[in-house]
Amino acid sequence: MSSNTGGLALPVTDPALSQRLGERLADVETALAAHVRGSAPFVSEAAAHLMAAGGKRFRPLLVLLAAEVGKDPAAPEVERAACVVELTHLASLYHDDVMDEALLRRGADSANARWDNLVAILTGDFLFARSSELTADLGPEAVRIQAQTFARLVEGQILETVPPGDGVDPVEHHLAVVAGKTGSLIATSARYGAMFAGAPVEVVDALTAYGEIVGTAFQLSDDILDIASDSTESGKTPGTDLKEGVPTLPVLLVARSTDPADARLQELLDPRRTDLAADDALHAEALGLLRAHPALAEAREYVVARATEAKERLAVLPAGPVRDALEAFADVVATRTA
């Protein structure tokens, strides 16, 4: 991303827009702190735990940015919608960490590690309830959108835990998981912002599609970075997903190859193996073969194509700093895999 973003999670290079978004995001942060408070101190502590650990606040920022294409970007409903999507996201992280048995989140102890799974699950439920309470104030249409988004998000989480059904391509299964878990809420973020700011229907629809596509592509680019980047570039140990047996796009592309030359790599990547995580030599061999395999380039090409498609959806937006920022973010998604 550009260095001239004012510390925002989106590449906003226009100084006036960057300042306006930063000020409004600060208001959202203040509102979020109030929304996570419960009637008992322990509930408030648990609910604020991950929020206090930081985060880019990408989803609420996208709400605020999308609102800039409407007639009233400062409408109070816009800030409320920004809180809705961030609370939903935070809630999903509590549940994710239980499912993944994660010990850390954003550099801090996960809720399940600090307390236990029961507290983490119920805290996630509490945050979902808070999000729903705010959504109710936004009207029936927002409630319907939130319910549909929540259903897709949870379905994506469920599908992630089960193998593809008979006759289902594992790659398509993975893409559906990512679209549900990540793309759906990012799409709703863009949709809410434009909708509550009074943007035309065709602009709302375009931004919704943009959010789904670019959000999914951004998550898929993480699949690639896990393999291709070193720890100094990405901030995480290379091949972490590989070591943990997490199916990613490049791995799934290798798995469906019929080339006999891929037999050794397919053997190493077999999800039934249990020694890849413990054996550093095998892990290094798998990572080296995967980095040299055409599947990595194929995965990159797919992400670049989706980023291009996302930019095409922005054609109905007026030229200016908002469209520039959204196009620049799609470019970031495409180039971060290089």
CA 203 distance to own-chain centroid: 22
Q: What is the pLDDT of residues 50-109, one digit of tens each?
A: 777 767 899 999 999 999 999 999 999 999 999 999 999 988 887 676 666 555 555 566
Enumerate the β-bridge partners of residue 105: 108
Band (2; pLDDT cuts 50, 70, 90):
very low
User: Which has the closest alpha carbon to 199: 328, 312, 78, 23?
Assistant: 78
Residues with Cβ within 8 Å of 55's Cβ and at least 6 positions away in sequence, in order, are 90, 106
Q: Three-state DSSP class for 197?
A: coil
CATH superfamily placement of domain 1-199: Farnesyl Diphosphate Synthase (1.10.600.10)
What pLDDT is recorded for position 96? 73
CATH of segment(s) 201-338: 1.10.600.10
Contact 52, 106 (CB under 8 A): no
Q: Round the average pLDDT of the chain to a whole number and report it.
A: 88
Q: What is the pLDDT of residues 118-153, one digit of tens each?
A: 777 888 888 999 999 999 999 999 999 999 999 999
Q: Give the count of beta carbons closer than 10 Å to the beta carbon of residue 177.
A: 23
Contact 329, 10 (CB under 8 A): yes
Query: Where along the chain do its domains lie?
Result: 1-199, 201-338
pTM metric for this prediction: 0.91
Q: Taking the chain, what is the end-to-end CA distance rounded to the nearest angstrom?
A: 14
Are 1-199 and 201-338 in the same CATH fold? yes
- Percent with pLDDT over 70 in the chain: 89
CA-only gyration radius of the chain, Å: 20
Tokens 């190493």 locate to 268
Q: What is the pLDDT of residues 9-39, one digit of tens each?
A: 899 999 999 999 999 999 999 999 999 888 8
Inter-CA distances, 238 with 158, 194, 230, 266, 304, Å: 26, 38, 6, 19, 22
Helix 58-67 × helix 321-335 angle, to 10°:
150
Alpha helices in the chain (DSSP H): 15-35, 41-52, 58-67, 76-100, 111-114, 117-136, 140-160, 170-178, 184-196, 201-228, 231-234, 240-243, 249-255, 263-269, 280-292, 294-312, 321-335
Which range scores top for mean pLDDT: 108-112, 168-172, 226-230? 168-172
